[in-house]
Amino acid sequence: MATRSIRIGIDTGGTFTDVVAFDEESGTLTTTKTPSTPSNPADGFIAGVERVLEILGATGEDVTAVCHGTTVATNQLLEGKVDELGFITTEGYEFVLEIARQAVPDGYGNSYFWVKPDRIVPAHLVKTVGGRLDFEGKEVRPFDEDGARATARWFAEKGIMTIGVNFLHAYANPDHEQRMRQILREEHPDAVVSLSSEVLREYREYERSMTTLVDAAVKPKVSRYVTNIHERLDAFTGVGTSDRDRIPFYIMKSNGGVLSADEVVNQPITTVLSGPAAGALGAGLIAQKAGFDKVLTCDGGGTSTDVTVVMNGEPALTTEGSVGAYPSKIPMIDVVTVGAGGGSIAWTTPEGQLKVGPHSAGADPGPLCYGKGGQQPTITDAHVMLGRIPAHLLGGEIPLDADAARRGIEDLAQRLNLSPEQCAIGILEISAWNQANALRQISVKRGLDVRDFMLATFGGSGSLLACRLVDILDLAGVVVPQNPGNVSAFGLLTVDVKNDYVQTHVARHNGLNLEAVAGIFDDLKQSAAEALTGEGFPAEAHRFQRTVDMRYLGQAFEVRVNTPEGEITQEWADQAAETFHAEHRSLYGYDFRGDESQQVEWVNLRVSGIGPITRPELKPIESADGAAPLEERALRSTRDVSFDADEGRVATPVYWRADLRSGDQITGPAIIEEFGSTVPLHPGFTLRVDDHGNLIIKKEGSK
């Protein structure tokens, strides 16, 4: 029986595995990091659990829950490592993947030619089965049982072990798909199968097909990974040698909720943006506590930087996302990822141009300064050479080879006919603009004025370019949370259990069948309630959110709006339509409110079931009033740092963040170091420490 109640959040990144433990009785948070293990991420996960329990003087018996943000599914899709897939669809629709959508990335970019990428399933592995449903789910032609059995046997004979099934209009009636799965179980029992009616009950055949196939593609690997960790957690925490049950093990979902590991095995596609979602939630909560309701988050890791918009503590959601080349029409936090992490490699084109990323040195071999065999300079090497980060990581645990970083950048600079300092600053400038363009994509291109937003930076490398981003984008300022390298892991401890359910119901507003709408919402709510009960939440703790996807008649895509609480009446429906008009104007600058020639159309009905958890409280830190002077208390050293190639290096004070107090103020140039990250404060910027230990950075003279 557990003597303490400790919840652990673990976020696996490309370079480090971040760990935060929350002691529910004392309310204290404990953070640490361990190196990631790309060959088997489960090893780094278990090492993180062992490390944080050692720090706490606790045992596995004290662990009451573990929540994990994983990149297993994300990395598999980004790297294109998809094993052979089979696809079964309705007779006559075998080319749905080939036809796809008439969408060309970047309008052809700088090229006159664009070659359509390979399909996720090659044409010879696409099979069809007879039978047909109409858009209301009524059977037009009966399901071809004999053809289905022949198809199942064909896949078994070919050794295709992973299969996606998408029949036309299965979102309205799943009967044919469920019968196909039963036949596959009988004829090909070892096959892993995903049904579109269970993955995505929405119309649009191409998107539904792709989402189903992505789910099938990642299912085997995610299943093995989650099962491996769960078994190792069992042994680690004493299950099987004591009377305690398995500890709850949750996986972060792309929609901003978590799901038990057992359920994730059945819904692996829900984890494709697991890690970035946790970071956005954690940073949004911290920034809101600091008094900022309009926030852009910037999560800088070893491989990439993830950015998103958070309004009033809630990250923006989308169902139009994709991972790599694969569209995934599931609810996910609206994250834009750019290949500008600490390990991103600097290189030259054949024409002699300097480029940075998207390729990364990762954790192994890592940047040149890691001394593990890296051959190319990275963003981290540039920071080391310029003195912006110390010659070590994790408070001295990982020494860095500054001479190796300089040699690599000198070699690159010679090829570019630049000085080493110019080359290093050029690497960081390109990286900053890459991040700035990603921030513009989620703000300016969505109709938001970026000047109204604070930037919340976190991750090991997230704050290194904060001041430059303020310059480029004219941001209101920057908020750097405490332990920024562990914000994603902290976010995992703030996340409710959340399940999303959707049903397509296309109808014009002026002819809406309210009884049918109420019936669909009731069915979706029941499914959500059953899932929450299965997760261990009592009925009185269940919360539900209803949303609707709406559009003007003739539009191709929808806008999601929240619906009012209460009974579904005509007044309720009219209020939802009014919300749609307002949201449409906010997004696109116009609406057709009051124009009877432009009708509103309802498309998808959605219910989210939420099981709330206890969140850690952010405690205030000690005040600087009455404490020793800042220089005596927190100043650790002075080192020469280059902020501008033309200005040369300047003697810069280095402060240790753990010794800063609420109310402290620092004027740049300065360096603020801590265990997991560093903040270079450029000349012309000031820093203030708020009541909760956040660093609030502003440009001198700004409002």
Beta bridge mates, 662 = 623
Of the CA atoms within 13 Å of residue 209, those in its CB half-sphere come to 24
Lookup result for tokens 């809406």: 512
> What are the pLDDT digits (tens) for 27-81?
888 988 888 887 788 888 999 999 999 999 988 888 888 999 887 777 777 666 7
Asked whether residue 88 carries a pLDDT value surpassing 70, the answer given is yes
pLDDT over 80 (residue 533) = yes
What is the pLDDT at residue 106? 55
298-313 burial, b for 16+ CB within 10 Å, e for fewer?
bbbbbbbbbbbbbeeb
DSSP 688: E
Measure the N-to-C terminal CA separation of the chain; round to a whole number of Å: 55
What is the distance between the alpha carbons of residues 377 and 281, in angstroms, rounded to a whole number? 33
Per DSSP (E only), the strands in 555-634 are 559-562, 600-611
| Residue 78 pLDDT | 66
Tokens of 514: 């309210």
Q: Please tell me the least confidently modeled range out of 7-16, 500-509, 627-636.
A: 7-16
Sign of CA dihedral 532, 254, 311, 506: negative
Axis crossing angle, helix 145-158 with helix 175-187, rounded to the nearest 10: 50
State residue 113's pLDDT score. 63
Q: Which of 574, 488, 342 is nearest to 10 (CA)?
A: 488
**Residue 164: both structure tokens together:** 């996606």
Q: What are phi and psi of 628, to 5 degrees?
A: -65, 155
CA distance 430 to 556: 37
Residue 522 has pLDDT above 60, yes or no: yes
Q: What is the mean pLDDT of the chain?
A: 88
pLDDT band with cut points at 50, 70 and 90 for residue 238: low
Helix, strand, coil shares of the chain as percentages rounded to 5?
A: 35, 25, 35
**Tokens in use for 149?**
């059995």
pLDDT value of position 337: 80
Q: Could you tell me which of 161, 516, 82, 481 has the C-alpha nearest to residue 298?
A: 481
Check pLDDT > 60 for residue 344: yes
Strand partners, 296: 309, 455
How high is the pLDDT of residue 488?
87
Q: Residue range 609-632: average pLDDT?
A: 88
109: pLDDT strictly greater than 80: no
Residue 407 near residue 274, CB atoms below 8 Å: no
| Whole-number pLDDT of residue 430 | 94
Q: What is the pLDDT of residues 168-185, one digit of tens each?
A: 999 999 999 999 999 999
**Mean pLDDT, rounded, for 228-255:** 75
Query: Does residue 359 register a pLDDT over 50?
Result: yes
Q: Is residue 335 within 8 Å of 297, Cβ to Cβ?
A: no
Q: Mean pLDDT: which of 79-83, 197-201, 523-527 is highest?
A: 523-527
- Judged against a pLDDT cut of 60, whether residue 357 lies above it is answered with yes
Separation of alpha carbons 628 and 631, rounded Å = 8
Q: Which helix (H) or strand (E) holds 520?
A: helix 514-534
Cis ω for the linkage preceding 365 (within 30 of 0): yes
Least confident of 64-73, 388-397, 524-533: 388-397
Question: Is 137 strand, coil or helix?
Answer: coil
pTM comes to 0.81
Cβ neighbors of 436 (< 8 A, separation 6 or more) are 469, 472, 473
* Distance from chain centroid for Cα 506: 30
d(C-alpha 464, C-alpha 172), whole Å: 50
For the segment 397-407, the average pLDDT, to the nearest whole number, is: 88
β-bridge mates for residue 90, sequence order:
129
pLDDT band of 519, cuts 50, 70, 90: very high
pLDDT tens digits, one per residue of 125-176? 999 999 999 988 999 999 999 999 999 999 999 999 999 999 999 999 999 9
By percentage, how much of the chain surpasses pLDDT 90?
51
Identify the residue with better confidence: 72 or 433: 433
Q: Phi and psi (nearest 5°) for 51?
A: -65, -45
Query: What's the average model confidence in pLDDT over 235-241?
Result: 62
Q: Which helix (H) or strand (E) holds 371?
A: none
Q: What gap in Å lies between CA 457 and CA 475, rounded to an integer?
A: 13
Is there a contact between 535 and 581 (Cβ–Cβ < 8 Å)? Answer: no
341 pLDDT tier (thresholds 50, 70, 90): confident
| Predicted local distance difference test score (pLDDT) of residue 143 | 96
Residues whose CB falls within 8 Å of the CB of residue 185, separated by 6 or more in sequence, listed in order: none
Supply the pLDDT for residue 1.
Answer: 46
Using DSSP's 3-state secondary structure scheme, residue 75 falls into helix
Condensed to tens digits (0 to 9), the pLDDT of residues 475-499 reads 999 999 998 988 988 889 888 888 8
| Res. 115: pLDDT tops 80 | no
pLDDT score recorded for residue 164: 95
Please indicate whether residue 697 or residue 246 has the higher confidence score (pLDDT).
697
What contacts 109, CB < 8 A, 6 or more positions away?
none
Inform me whether the pLDDT recorded for 407 exceeds 60: yes
E strand residue ranges, 413-496: 454-458, 477-480
Alpha carbon 358 to its chain's center: 18
- Between residues 301 and 681, the one the model is more confident about: 681
Residue 377: which of 413, 417, 352, 419 has the closest Cα? 413
Q: Select the more confidently predicted residue: 114 or 308.
A: 308
What tens digit of pLDDT does each residue of 445-467 get? 888 899 999 999 998 889 999 99
pLDDT of residue 322: 72
